[in-house]
């Protein structure tokens, strides 16, 4: 029942009325959950502002808001004691994720360990690696058959049967926490599988559920939208709409035909998805990876990505989870133009109100470009032109994930360094698919664009960096170089502001896995080439000096240790790019209360001498400590000498 009369609603301050009404309703629970009152007081205004900017503040909207807050209350009542406690600790230490101690890893449960139970047995390996922020690829119950690597969820409250049960997941999350490892889970927010209960109800004609999706009676409106849309998977899912004769309707399907985009213009969807989110949060996850967020809002006449409303939705959900589970982070998966990605971290007045983390796809793709071209003009120009990540957020820095590499290089930034954007992206594709004469890479074109010829690229880190070719040709120098290249890229993601995220298997240099070609459910999607089954025989070689695995693994360990003992890597330090007049050098400085550090990377296959006179004044000296190798270096002749693909983490002695 509504407590506020229409008259009051009409005349009064609706936000205050609603807030007071909710606070009154939850009073009986303040004794057991004393923080609830404070959290509502603190976050309600944000929720209201963003929620009503989408759904309005009509009298009936109260009913939705009360439902939403009832979901919070239910979530709080179901929430386990240890989680409630962690929430409170993290409320006092909100920027825990900015610590230099945090090191991320990502894996597929089945390919890495078999199932959730067996994954528990692999925890010692994760600890040996120093990983304490672990993203498990989608593991909620997917549709049968093709499921886009789990990104077509049939039931958000159940676990993929092949991996285990819901209890196994809860148990795993508890065990991980006891071992000091944070858990990241996917919340596939933009779409459900067409086998999801809602979609099934829609398919059988239930109008309430048809409104959960974007459905059209004929092609008129889809065609109007289509004029401005891009295709994400032009090869296996051309167009953005699919026809279903059972209901004689066209349904919005940005990705595969079996992934139905949710209609967030409907408050029913906002609430229903919030309920699913609450449930997921209560498995004990520390961070939700929000999949495909750029697509959440559709607006005719636009390309329907990165709309302001999509941001409002994330901000409204952010405010709600701060009430239920302030210990849980939001990580945006928005692989879009550099200028757009950063907006998911809440810039321009929305600092701290949107996502806490976001994939740094700009850094990732530009690192590969710098490596191929042995030139850092583009990466440093692009990075220096972008707004900084707000101080209460962090990037997730990676060189590779489970997806293809998209060449997120902007025409504008390319023009700033007198390059043509299209040609630059073509160069990257050609280089990493091994088309250019001097290329060492073994990658594959993914979803080539019919008009521009541009394509994203699939391939593991090791294969793209040349290890696969060098091993086939048994070329010692090639092997040395590719190991250097891999470590060069890793060194940047380990020291750049944010959390480094390693795709498990990279630490021992796993190359492309071609077995997907004999699996009918995988064979058309070459992203599976870089999602190899973990080769535990190779892992065992990490202890055998002289092997590639040993070399890579020990360097990786060294890097984790170095990161953890470098205070300037903490998110609170001040960072700035240092532009040197040497094409192949990427240099930045990070200054903390405790120590200043200068990071230098050489993207050239040749050694490079950097005259110390080129550096900012405080770095013009002769003796340094390299925090990576933990050695004191003496650069006589006033030159810092970097080996081919070499790098230093320098501090004063």
Please, which residue, 224 or 230, has the CB nearer to ligand OTU? 230
Residue 501, Cβ density class (10 Å: 0-12 exposed, 13-18 middle, ≥19 buried):
buried
Please, which residue, 501 or 627, has the CB nearer to ligand OTU? 501
Q: Which stretch binds ligand OTU (CB under 6 A): 268-276, 289-297, 320-328, 488-496?
A: 289-297
User: For helices 81-92 and 35-55, what crossing angle results, to 10°?
Assistant: 80
Kindly identify the residues of this chain, within the stretch 311-370, that bind ligand OTU according to CB under 6 A: 333-336
CB 49: neighbour CB atoms within 10 A? 15
User: For helices 308-324 and 35-55, what crossing angle results, to 10°?
Assistant: 160
Q: Cα separation of 333 and 248, whole Å?
A: 33
Residue among 23, 111, 232, 471 that touches ligand OTU (CB under 6 A): 232
Identified catalytic residue from 257, 333, 356, 513:
333
Minimum CB–partner distance for residue 573 and ligand OTU (Å): 29
Please, which residue, 334 or 396, has the CB nearer to ligand OTU? 334
The residue written with tokens 């060189």 in the block is 399
Number of residues lying near ligand OTU (CB under 6 A): 15
CB 232: neighbour CB atoms within 10 A? 15
Minimum CB–partner distance for residue 291 and ligand OTU (Å): 5
Q: Which stretch binds ligand OTU (CB under 6 A): 107-115, 396-404, 495-503, 538-546?
A: 396-404
130, 103 contact by CB (below 8 A) = yes
> According to the binding rule CB under 6 A, does residue 506 interact with ligand OTU?
no
Q: Cα separation of 500 and 497, whole Å?
A: 9
Asked about 309 being catalytic, the answer comes back as no
> According to the binding rule CB under 6 A, does residue 111 interact with ligand OTU?
no
Please, which residue, 98 or 458, has the CB nearer to ligand OTU? 458
Minimum CB–partner distance for residue 327 and ligand OTU (Å): 24
CB 426: neighbour CB atoms within 10 A? 17
Minimum CB–partner distance for residue 222 and ligand OTU (Å): 20
Residue among 187, 255, 270, 528 that touches ligand OTU (CB under 6 A): 255
Minimum CB–partner distance for residue 539 and ligand OTU (Å): 25
Q: Name the helix (H) or strand (E) containing 6.
A: helix 6-11
On the CB side of 180, CA atoms within 13 Å amount to: 12
> According to the binding rule CB under 6 A, does residue 624 interact with ligand OTU?
no
Q: Which stretch binds ligand OTU (CB under 6 A): 35-43, 144-152, 173-181, 343-351?
A: 144-152
Long-range contacts of 544-551 (CB under 8 A, 24+ apart): 548/467, 548/471, 548/479, 548/483, 548/508, 548/509, 549/508, 549/509, 551/483
Alpha helical stretches, state H, 216-325: 220-226, 267-281, 308-324
Q: Cα separation of 595 and 597, whole Å?
A: 7
Residue among 36, 181, 280, 292 that touches ligand OTU (CB under 6 A): 292
Minimum CB–partner distance for residue 399 and ligand OTU (Å): 16
Please, which residue, 528 or 599, has the CB nearer to ligand OTU? 528
**Binding string, 409-448, against ligand OTU, x = CB under 6 A?**
----------------------------------------
User: For helices 308-324 and 267-281, what crossing angle results, to 10°?
Assistant: 40
Alpha helical stretches, state H, 182-251: 197-203, 207-210, 220-226
Minimum CB–partner distance for residue 508 and ligand OTU (Å): 23
Identified catalytic residue from 110, 276, 286, 291:
291
Asked about 412 being catalytic, the answer comes back as no
φ, ψ of residue 335 in degrees (nearest 5) = -95, 80
Residue 518 has what DSSP assignment? G
Residue among 51, 69, 108, 151 that touches ligand OTU (CB under 6 A): 151
Q: Name the helix (H) or strand (E) containing 395.
A: strand 394-398
Q: Which stretch binds ligand OTU (CB under 6 A): 67-75, 276-284, 401-409, 538-546?
A: 401-409
Minimum CB–partner distance for residue 446 and ligand OTU (Å): 8
Minimum CB–partner distance for residue 409 and ligand OTU (Å): 15
Please, which residue, 177 or 533, has the CB nearer to ligand OTU? 533
388, 360 contact by CB (below 8 A) = no
| Catalytically annotated residues | 291, 333
Return residues touching ligand OTU (CB under 6 A).
148-149, 151, 232, 255, 291-292, 294, 333-336, 402-404
């Amino acid at each position: 029942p509504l407590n506020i009369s229409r008259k009051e609603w009409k005349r009064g301050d609706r936000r205050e009325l609603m807030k007071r009404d909710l606070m009154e309703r939850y009073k009986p629970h303040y004794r057991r959950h004393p923080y609830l009152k404070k959290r509502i007081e603190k976050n309600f205004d944000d929720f209201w502002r963003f929620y009503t900017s989408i759904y309005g503040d009509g009298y009936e909207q109260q009913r939705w808001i009360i439902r939403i807050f009832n979901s919070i209350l239910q979530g709080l009542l179901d929430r386990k004691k240890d989680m409630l406690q962690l929430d409170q600790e993290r409320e006092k230490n909100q920027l825990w994720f900015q610590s230099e101690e945090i090191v991320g890893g990502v894996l597929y449960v089945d390919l890495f360990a078999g199932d959730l139970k067996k994954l528990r047995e692999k925890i010692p390996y994760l600890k040996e690696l120093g990983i304490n922020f672990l993203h498990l690829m989608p593991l909620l119950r997917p549709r049968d058959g093709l499921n886009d690597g789990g990104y077509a969820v049939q039931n958000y409250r159940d676990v993929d049967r092949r991996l285990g049960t819901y209890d196994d997941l809860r148990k795993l999350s508890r065990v991980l926490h006891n071992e000091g490892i944070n858990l990241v889970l996917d919340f596939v927010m933009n779409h459900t599988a067409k086998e999801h209960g809602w979609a099934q109800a829609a398919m059988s004609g239930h109008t309430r559920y048809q409104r959960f999706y974007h459905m059209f009676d004929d092609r008129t409106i889809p065609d109007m939208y289509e004029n401005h849309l891009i295709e994400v998977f032009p090869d296996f899912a051309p167009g953005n709409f699919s026809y279903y004769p059972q209901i004689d309707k066209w349904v919005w399907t940005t990705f595969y035909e079996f992934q139905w985009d949710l209609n967030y213009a409907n408050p029913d969807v906002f609430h229903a998805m919030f309920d699913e989110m609450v449930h997921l949060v209560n498995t004990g996850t520390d961070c939700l990876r929000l999949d495909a967020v750029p697509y959440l809002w559709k607006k005719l006449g636009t390309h329907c990505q990165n709309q302001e409303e999509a941001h409002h939705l994330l901000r409204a959900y952010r405010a709600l989870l701060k009430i239920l589970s302030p210990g849980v982070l939001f990580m945006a998966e928005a692989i879009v133009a550099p200028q757009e990605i950063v907006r998911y971290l809440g810039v321009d007045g929305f600092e701290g109100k949107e996502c806490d983390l976001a994939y740094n796809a700009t850094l990732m793709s530009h690192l590969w470009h710098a490596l191929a071209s042995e030139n850092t003009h583009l990466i440093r120009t692009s990075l220096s032109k972008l707004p900084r990540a707000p101080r209460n957020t962090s990037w997730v820095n990676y060189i590779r994930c489970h997806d293809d590499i998209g060449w997120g290089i902007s025409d504008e930034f390319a023009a700033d360094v007198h390059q043509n954007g299209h040609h630059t992206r073509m160069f990257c594709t050609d280089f990493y698919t091994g088309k250019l004469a001097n290329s060492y890479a073994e990658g594959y074109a993914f979803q080539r664009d019919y008009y521009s010829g541009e394509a994203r690229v699939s391939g593991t880190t090791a294969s793209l960096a040349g290890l696969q070719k060098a091993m086939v040709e048994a070329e010692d120098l090639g092997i040395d170089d590719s190991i250097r290249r891999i470590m060069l890229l890793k060194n940047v993601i380990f020291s750049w502001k944010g959390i480094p995220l390693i795709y498990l298997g990279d630490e021992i240099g796993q190359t492309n896995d071609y077995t997907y070609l004999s699996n009918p459910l995988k064979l058309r999607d070459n992203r599976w080439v870089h999602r190899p089954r973990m080769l535990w025989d190779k892992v065992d070689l990490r202890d055998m000096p002289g092997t590639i695995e040993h070399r890579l693994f020990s360097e990786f360990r060294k890097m984790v240790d170095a990161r953890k003992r470098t205070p300037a890597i903490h998110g609170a330090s001040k960072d700035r790019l240092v532009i040197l007049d040497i094409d192949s050098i990427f240099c930045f400085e990070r200054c903390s209360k405790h120590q200043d550090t200068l990071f230098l990377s050489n993207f050239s296959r040749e050694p490079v001498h950097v005259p110390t006179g080129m550096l900012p004044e405080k770095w013009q000296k002769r003796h340094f400590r390299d925090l990576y190798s933990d050695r004191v270096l003496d650069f006589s002749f006033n030159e810092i000498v970097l080996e081919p693909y070499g790098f230093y983490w320098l501090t004063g002695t």
